[in-house]
Amino acid sequence: MNAGKTMPTAAGARTSNDYPVPTAMRAWVLGRPGELSLQEKPVPVPGKAEVLVRIDAVAICATDLDIVAHGPPALIRGDLPFDKGFTPGHEYMGTVVALGPGVDEFPIGQRVTVEIHAGCGQCKRCREGMYTSCHNYGLNWGAVDKGHRANGFTTDGGFCEYQVNHINTLIPIADDMSDEEATLVVTAGTAMYGLTELGGLVAGESVVVVGPGPIGLLGVGVAKALGAHPVILTGTRDNRLKTGLELGADHAINVRREDAVAAVRRLTGGKGADYVLECSGAPDAVNEAARMANRGGKICLAAFPHEPVPVDIAHIVRNNIYLYGIRGEGKSATHRAEAFMRQKRFDATKIHTHTFALEDLPTALRYARDRVEDAIKVVVKARGVAVRREAAE
């Protein structure tokens, strides 16, 4: 082991000659709304219960687009993240290259994917395993020894070359899992978390997934892996509905051509679905999900509209429908999702459509935002990908 010939290390931290760590790295930094610049930053140093991850790939999430353009849900020192030297990005994977003092849970060289949230570990929710709902969320910028940390939201994220992660956020990945696939574990974990909160025992039960975005599409794969039947996917884009069928959906409904509620009821013998995983965030999504669900059914909201919307509470109450909201990928759902992916229970790579070099992040963000070339999940890699000198419109 080599204690700090390149990167300065905390007392007791360890590095390896096999994975030399520089003192500086490239990182995209958020300035004013919509303005990102590629800058040089110091490589962060892992402390107690932390490791340094060399970021090998990072996927773009719709939330990243919101953060770059508008700020929320990122909060830096309790305020908007603009002009604070903040690096966004949260769906990343990589290789452990340095260990903080006392860390022996992961060896240097271990490939990992990461969860976003490291809860404070002390509040009521963290003790229940609900660290994505930590009561200290957003209160600890600059004081990570006390409080919740969410890389890419309240602390620096993954649009860079190295990042420090708490050991609780790391999920080891199989040797044969590609970097690109590994970035999708958190997405699958979010779908897994939603189905877990709905009860988890969905074998033989009917599940509707509303919205064929990344979470919805992998929600189809997870639901089928859990034994759900039938799994019904609704959406507006035929190419994404086709991908959903490839991931295991028994039925795909294009809501531009067919009434989704009527179709779901027809496919479930007139009763409606046992579970609805709402991933569209459409203004009337909650009401439509409630009309799709059968009496006593359950709805999980994994997306939301940006403005307040009216909800037919009377219908929900009269039909004894249960409504759940989830944030992120709590209760170690990513570990269960990675296990399914490791066992090839579904092929998450079907939603990966584009890969760009780190230098091309602005173009990658545009592809994701504007769905250029039918982009679904866009991945950025810090090495091994040629830089594009042109940007297709």
Q: What does the block give as tokens for 192?
A: 């897994």
390 domain-assigned: no
Q: What average pLDDT does the structure give for the chain?
A: 92
The answer to whether the CB of 279 falls within 8 A of the CB of 215 is: yes
Model confidence at 177, in pLDDT bands (50, 70, 90)? Answer: very high
CB count, 10 Å around CB of 294? 21
What is the pLDDT at residue 10? 63
Chain centre distance of CA 321: 27
What is the pLDDT at residue 139? 74
Q: Say whether both 363 and 284 belong to one domain.
A: no
Q: Say whether both 22 and 167 belong to one domain.
A: yes
Distance CA 187, CA 213 (A): 10
* Per-residue pLDDT at 146 exceeds 90: no
Q: Say whether both 225 and 105 belong to one domain.
A: no
Q: Say whether both 156 and 45 belong to one domain.
A: yes
53 domain-assigned: yes
CATH number at residue 42: 3.90.180.10
137 domain-assigned: no
Q: Say whether both 71 and 47 belong to one domain.
A: yes
271 domain-assigned: yes
Q: Say whether both 69 and 109 belong to one domain.
A: yes
95 domain-assigned: yes
Q: Say whether both 198 and 295 belong to one domain.
A: yes
Residue range(s) defining the domain that contains residue 243: 187-329
What is the pLDDT at residue 391? 46
Is the Cα torsion angle 351, 356, 362, 363 positive or negative in sign?
negative
Q: Say whether both 313 and 361 belong to one domain.
A: no
CB count, 10 Å around CB of 206? 26
Q: Which of 377, 375, 378, 372 is nearest to 357 (CA)?
A: 378
Q: pLDDT tens digits for 342-382?
A: 999 999 999 999 999 999 999 999 999 999 999 999 999 98
Q: How far is CA 271 from CA 203, 233, 264, 389, in A?
A: 18, 17, 9, 55
Model confidence at 201, in pLDDT bands (50, 70, 90)? Answer: confident
188 phi/psi in degrees, rounded to 5: -65, -35
What's the rounded mean pLDDT across residues 261-280?
A: 97
* Per-residue pLDDT at 392 exceeds 60: no
8 prior amide bond cis, ω within 30: no
Q: pLDDT tens digits for 354-365?
A: 999 999 999 999
300 domain-assigned: yes
Percent of the chain clearing pLDDT 70 (strictly above): 94
Model confidence at 141, in pLDDT bands (50, 70, 90)? Answer: low
What amino acid is encoded at 366 in this protein?
A: R
* Per-residue pLDDT at 393 exceeds 70: no
Q: pLDDT tens digits for 302-340?
A: 998 888 999 999 999 999 999 999 998 889 999 999 999
What's the rounded mean pLDDT across residues 206-215?
A: 97
Q: Say whether both 213 and 311 belong to one domain.
A: yes
* Per-residue pLDDT at 3 exceeds 60: no
63 domain-assigned: yes
Q: Per the structure, how many domains does the chain have?
A: 2
CATH number at residue 297: 3.40.50.720
What is the pLDDT at residue 6? 61
Q: Say whether both 299 and 377 belong to one domain.
A: no
Q: Say whether both 274 and 241 belong to one domain.
A: yes
What is the pLDDT at residue 370? 97
Q: pLDDT tens digits for 58-97?
A: 999 999 999 999 999 998 888 899 999 999 999 999 999 9
Q: Say whether both 165 and 224 belong to one domain.
A: no
Distance CA 215, CA 294 (A): 23
46 prior amide bond cis, ω within 30: no
124 domain-assigned: no
